[in-house]
Structure 1
């Protein structure tokens, strides 16, 4: 196979769908297909790809067989697009972070002996000791989180070791809950996969290793040594190290494609499988982030990704191992109140008109006359608050004097929060930092201008959507050619386009506002604790 004929497959098992893309050697997308869980697989009765327990709404799972069946459909849909699997040199996968899959004893043998004349779902129907996998939306493990933190001396110590304090959705506490509430299921589990390593296991025909980047989102790995932390494993369940297997760097070549895929779909036997990773690390790969960049995704939730040379102890946010450079790290900040909150303010102030919203935003000066607004429609993660909080120059107020002040207060408040938490990770705004904006609101120039000003850094955008899926495809090439640097691999892609620069007075306006924001949050959280609210 000549390099010009070489193709790479990236598969993304996200919350609501399974999708795939094939790219050529120049990383241009040739074929795409997707399977929507709710509509394409109605027999599983998922809502948004998830099953909410009717007796306990905190308990949220997804049927493993729904994912397996989606694989069968996806492969056929890729064939319909004209995909030629015999040209694929390497495949990799990504998936929603923090979900876990429990393989029944004997299932690896089943994987190795799959019959190419039958669908996957027909052969793997009895391969899982837990039929509904806990996923990232689950928040039923508060008890197990406390136990994990206590095992190492508290949340700060846990964050120092694993990059995060204990979170209900993280895999360690999920495994502990399975062991405590369903000991027989745990006992019958041969191996535990993350959803990303479950994806690569199907291609590999044996249980694939967990990569260090997705593995660092489990509260079980020492992010400095990149190995499992034995006291944490012991705090979860007995014999867990054997069930997890040894973690590997994110772009590791883990073996050839299985005989099943070679015979059924005509992959060449020499096609390689590259370790999969979580959707957040894969997005960092797909957005081509490197040192000096911060990516801000403006979607239903707003997220920020930073490239870190060294892990930093922060109790708010997460430090993960870097999927591109095994000696580097990445920071992840998640804000639940993103675009839906911006839309609520738009609806209130402009009857749903973005053009008027932008006019109001641009008609108020940077700094908004000293007014600041914090809007949390749903319980926020960073900070842990809910409700609307408005301030003028000196004190808390019930409402603002005009619609344009309200609009700017919403947008500035959201970005000041991102700056404050990113600075905690060591981000130096305006010191050669560049911002890559993605997500729905990255189309809105007026909003991006505020982002540039608050972070005192230029803002760029790039064309490619589906950064996690494309990240998996790029990682397939990176893993196949480890001797070629990642920056060289992505050098064929068009450069991100700069859309705005900060104004020259931005820093003198927003540095003091960021300090004021920190003070306001401190007071609000102290007030909440005094009232004894959750």
Structure 2
């Protein structure tokens, strides 16, 4: 009757319960990492949600925080619903994030199969499971050398894109693994297994060590042949000679990991016949929510549009992926997303109501402001400080300016892939709750904008979990039933001003990044 979607994001762990009989999202539960008492004793900074580092571009999170959040989220779920009615679970997790496991992990998994394991928590059970204590995540950008090494191994930029669907981005898992192995003595030898974050959660839920990499998340590793959906041995060997053994097989995202293990049955009340999938990344699982194009507004901004499996972006800006049920799509990921919007808001001591009011009162004002706090992929460029093209810094102009420029850059650099068709666009993420933000998106893309249901990647995972049941259920019917019926129309009277703004903005941006 119910499926469960789990999403392990940069800021929280979220659960979504879907009633697949009446097409209803019954419940969403979220545990924010910075709300956890344990974060005060964690290696993870409560404000940045990263482990502090002297190395620019190094981005890790505390694995223990993930495990605490999972236990706490399931405890909350137990209080709010009958967990035994959950028939299947699918998992979403921040793409490119991964963990390095030692041989001890195997014996700890075995303990999860024992009834007495329910008397402990996941941190206690898995405490000595790691060959490296941090989990590198998608914000990693200290891998320039390693990414270039992979590119050269493939035979250059064009070959790399043809093989993997991407031009060896800094944050992709292959370059990050190579960075850690090359810069930490004996780490490769001490690492028995490397799990992406979704397969790590699937492994824990099932107490199985042989959980495969899904080809959706595998697309974000710079190690997989995109069209063949299998590892490329040359790329693997350029990282480590035994990397294939550490990573395991590649399978469809809708593949089973196994049945839920005893720890979760005894502690939280799951039924022993509950099936767990191998899951995928947060972007692939979000794409499950809608057949058309999706703009996901989170810490980073992600624009996803459908493609043919053989299509490639040889400029290297975008990445070819597969969604959480195996369909090809293209992804444009702008690292400097809502975190910059919030930085401007906090700089002026404002709140979300202030933002809405400001945007509403300044509809015709199109201030040009550019800012990249971190190295960027859309388009590929270095970080730089705030650059204002107006006289005086003020909240109204700064906030509207960063909203306009960050969204317009995604629209501009993805244009060639949707220029032949009118965009069919849905929006998800926290800012999608603000009607004024949605109006701006409609004006930039010059198309109708629809709103995806709250829940995002976790709800997408709960839809994908239906496929594990092998029942004859139409996913399109469920997607249509869940979607908000509100449609935001563009203001065509403003369209000329937006076109002029975007032309001017791109000119200034390219001039700035060239210098």
TM range (shorter): 0.7 to 0.9
Is the Cα–Cα contact under 8 Å of residues 97 and 278 in structure 1 kept in the other structure?
yes
Give distance in 1, aligned partners of 2:436 and 2:74. Answer: 42
Q: Give the equivalent residue in structure 2 for 1:21.
A: 16
Q: Give the equivalent residue in structure 1 for 2:411.
A: 419
Within 5 Å, give how 1:467-486 maps onto structure 2: 467-481=456-470, 483-486=472-475
Give distance in 2, aligned partners of 1:103 and 1:53. Answer: 22
Q: Give the equivalent residue in structure 2 for 1:394.
A: none
- Does residue 204 of structure 2 align to residue 202 of structure 1? yes
Out of 132, 135, 147, the position equivalent to 1:133 is 135
Give distance in 2, aligned partners of 1:270 and 1:504. Answer: 57
Q: Which 10-residue stretch deviates more, 220-229 or 165-174? A: 165-174
Q: Aligned pair in 2 of structure 1 residues 222, 503: CA closer, same or farther (>3 Å)?
A: same
Is the Cα–Cα contact under 8 Å of residues 251 and 323 in structure 1 kept in the other structure?
no
Deviation at 1:220, TM superposition (A): 1.0
Q: Which has more radius of gyration?
A: 1
Out of 44, 47, 52, the position equivalent to 1:46 is 44
Q: Aligned pair in 2 of structure 1 residues 22, 439: CA closer, same or farther (>3 Å)?
A: closer
Root-mean-square deviation over aligned CA pairs: 3.4
Task: Say which SS state the counterpart of residue 449 (structure 1) adopts.
Answer: helix
Structure 2 unaligned regions, length at least 5: none
Q: Aligned pair in 2 of structure 1 residues 403, 330: CA closer, same or farther (>3 Å)?
A: closer
Residues 172-207 of structure 1: per-residue CA shift (max 9 Å, x gap): 122212322335332232221001110111111112
Is the Cα–Cα contact under 8 Å of residues 337 and 377 in structure 1 kept in the other structure?
no
Q: Aligned pair in 2 of structure 1 residues 253, 500: CA closer, same or farther (>3 Å)?
A: same
Q: Aligned pair in 2 of structure 1 residues 56, 309: CA closer, same or farther (>3 Å)?
A: same
Residues 190-247 of structure 1: per-residue CA shift (max 9 Å, x gap): 2210011101111111122111111111111111111111111011011111111111
Deviation at 1:485, TM superposition (A): 4.3
Give distance in 2, aligned partners of 1:418 and 1:55. Answer: 30
Task: Say which SS state the counterpart of residue 468 (structure 1) adopts.
Answer: helix
Give distance in 2, aligned partners of 1:405 and 1:40. Answer: 37
Is the Cα–Cα contact under 8 Å of residues 43 and 51 in structure 2 kept in the other structure?
no
Alignment size in residue pairs:
501
Give distance in 1, aligned partners of 2:235 and 2:442. Answer: 41
Q: Aligned pair in 2 of structure 1 residues 18, 100: CA closer, same or farther (>3 Å)?
A: same
Structure 1 unaligned regions, length at least 5: 1-5, 391-396, 529-534
Q: Aligned pair in 2 of structure 1 residues 126, 497: CA closer, same or farther (>3 Å)?
A: same
Q: Give the equivalent residue in structure 1 for 2:239.
A: 236
Give distance in 2, aligned partners of 1:54 and 1:343. Answer: 20
Give distance in 2, aligned partners of 1:125 and 1:402. Answer: 49
Residues 105-150 of structure 1: per-residue CA shift (max 9 Å, x gap): 2533542442222223333222222222222233332222221122
**Whose relative contact order is higher, 1 or 2, with alpha carbons under 8 Å and at least 6 apart?**
2
Within 5 Å, give how 1:248-263 maps onto structure 2: 248-263=251-266
Is the Cα–Cα contact under 8 Å of residues 5 and 459 in structure 2 kept in the other structure?
yes
Deviation at 1:457, TM superposition (A): 0.6
> Normalising by the residue count of structure 2, what TM-score does the alignment of the two structures yield?
0.85
Residues 5-35 of structure 1: per-residue CA shift (max 9 Å, x gap): x111222222233332333222322363526
Is the Cα–Cα contact under 8 Å of residues 259 and 274 in structure 2 kept in the other structure?
yes
Give distance in 1, aligned partners of 2:303 and 2:327. Answer: 21
Out of 413, 425, 428, the position equivalent to 2:419 is 428
Give distance in 1, aligned partners of 2:133 and 2:215. Answer: 25
Deviation at 1:339, TM superposition (A): 6.7
Q: Which 10-residue stretch deviates more, 248-257 or 490-499? A: 490-499
Deviation at 1:315, TM superposition (A): 4.0
Give distance in 2, aligned partners of 1:339 and 1:422. Answer: 21
Q: Which 10-residue stretch deviates more, 109-118 or 219-228? A: 109-118
Q: Give the equivalent residue in structure 1 for 2:102.
A: 104
Within 5 Å, give how 1:266-285 maps onto structure 2: 266-285=269-288
Give distance in 1, aligned partners of 2:130 and 2:461. Answer: 25
Task: Say which SS state the counterpart of residue 8 (structure 1) adopts.
Answer: strand
